[in-house]
A = this chain, B = another copy of it.
C-alpha cells in the first residue's frame, strides 16, 4: 500500500544528500522537508563524499552540471555505493547537449543506481543512447499516452532490466517500473509543467521515500510519484482568482506538507501492470 510508504517516511528521519541544480534547489529542499525528509546540499569534491556518508541516500540531478560538480557526483556516488545507500539519478536535459548525455550515461554505467527518474525524452536518451529532448522538457513525440501505453510499459520494464534499477518516467501518465512490474499513475495536472522544477522536486522527494522504505523501493518510488501528482491536484484546487504558477508552486509543496498516508492512498490513481 502506498499509504505505508508515506507513513514510514513520516516516522523516520530520512537524510538526503542532494547534488542538484541551483535553479530549483530551494524548492527541492522545502519539499523534502515537507514530506518528512531532511535535505543537505554539498557539491564540492572535498565535501560531497563525507556528507553522503552521514546521509541515508543520494539524489544526483545534472540540471546545472559543471566541471566542478561532475566529479563530485561520481565521488559521492561511489561513497554511497560503498555504504549501500540508495542513489537516484535525475538526468535533466540528457539529449539536449553532449555533456549532459555523456555524464548521465556514465553515471548510469559506473554507479549502482537505485532509480532513474526523468521525462520520457531524457529516459529514451539514456535507453537508446540518443534522444530528442527539447531543452529540459520532453518532446511530445516521446510522451506516454493511452494509445502507446502497452508499448511504453514494455519499454520501461526493458530499460529497468537493462539498467538494473528502477525507472520512473513522468509526464501526463507516469510509469514506475522494475523489470517485471509497472505502476501506471494518473495523478497530476498539466499546469505543473508551467512551474520550474516539479520534476526536480519529485526526484528529491522520491529519494527520501526510498531511504525510508529500503524493503519496498518500487512501491516507495511509486508512492512519491503519486504524492507529487496528488499534491498538484490539491494545490490546484486551492488556487484563487489571480493566482498563477508562482503561487501554485507554493501550494504544491504545502499540499505535501499536509499530506498523510491515508490521503495519499485515497487520492492515488494507479494500476499495477
Contacts and interface: CB of A to CB of B under 8 A. Distances in A.
A139 to B, nearest CB: 11
Interface residues of A, number: 64
A135 interface: yes
A29 interface: yes
A63 interface: yes
A130 to B, nearest CB: 14
Contacts of A137: 38
Interface in A237-264: 238, 242-247, 249-258
Contacts of A42: 64, 93, 97
B43 A66 contact: yes
A38 B136 CA distance: 9
B246 A254 contact: yes
Contact of A44 (B33, B51, B99, B252): B99
A68 B68 contact: yes
A152 interface: no
Given A43-B64, A68-B68, A96-B51, A34 B245 contact: yes
A67 interface: yes
Interface in A31-63: 33-34, 38-47, 50-51, 54-55, 63
B196 A50 contact: no
A98 B34 contact: no
Given A66-B68, A196-B29, A255 B238 contact: no
A132 to B, nearest CB: 10
B68 A38 contact: no
Contacts of A15: 134-135
Nearest to A252: B246
Given A30-B196, A30-B245, A244-B253, 8 more contacts: A22-B41, A23-B41, A26-B196, A41-B64, A43-B64, A47-B100, A54-B135, A55-B135
